[in-house]
Amino acid sequence: MTDLPTPEAPKLPKALQPSILAGLPEYLKDPNVYDKVQKAIVSSIQSSCTHSDPSEWMSCRKCGEKMAERRALLKRLGFKSPAQYMQWKKVHEMMRTELRDPLIKKS
């Protein structure tokens, strides 16, 4: 009999990258809180200013203060970065639509 070479096991990564949503507080994982959090964030950035050019918006002191207020609110809510907030928002929007389960049909 001839000796056959033994197949090698596939090389797996040593550790998977942690999810960007891994560090969220428990209350942000509740879908019922989504509307309240979104309302707070949107109301923190609303302004009476109207700018036709992004450079005007960037140089506006009032709009700059609103953006700083939004960043502080995101930190107080428990988000570690704007990317984490955007991913959280994307997940909750997906959960709210029926695209998540294509087998459900509208009646």
Q: Give the start-to-end residue ranges of the domains of the chain.
A: 46-96
Supply 76's token pair.
């107080």
> What is the spatial distance between Cα 13 and Cα 21, in angstroms, rounded to a whole number?
20
Residue 87 has pLDDT above 90, yes or no: yes
**What pLDDT was estimated at residue 80?**
92
Q: Write the pLDDT tens digit of every residue in 51-81.
A: 888 888 888 888 889 889 999 999 999 999 9
CA separation, residue 69 to residues 7, 75, 84, 88, 103 (Å): 58, 10, 17, 19, 42
Q: What is the DSSP letter of 11?
A: P
Q: Is the dihedral of CA 21, 26, 28, 29 positive or negative?
A: positive
pTM: 0.69
91-95 LR contacts (CB < 8 Å, sep 24+): 91/21, 92/31, 92/34, 95/31
Burial 1-20 (b: 16+ CB within 10 A, else e): eeeeeeeeeeeeeeeeeeee
93 or 1, higher pLDDT: 93
pLDDT band at 98 (very low <50, low <70, confident <90, very high): low
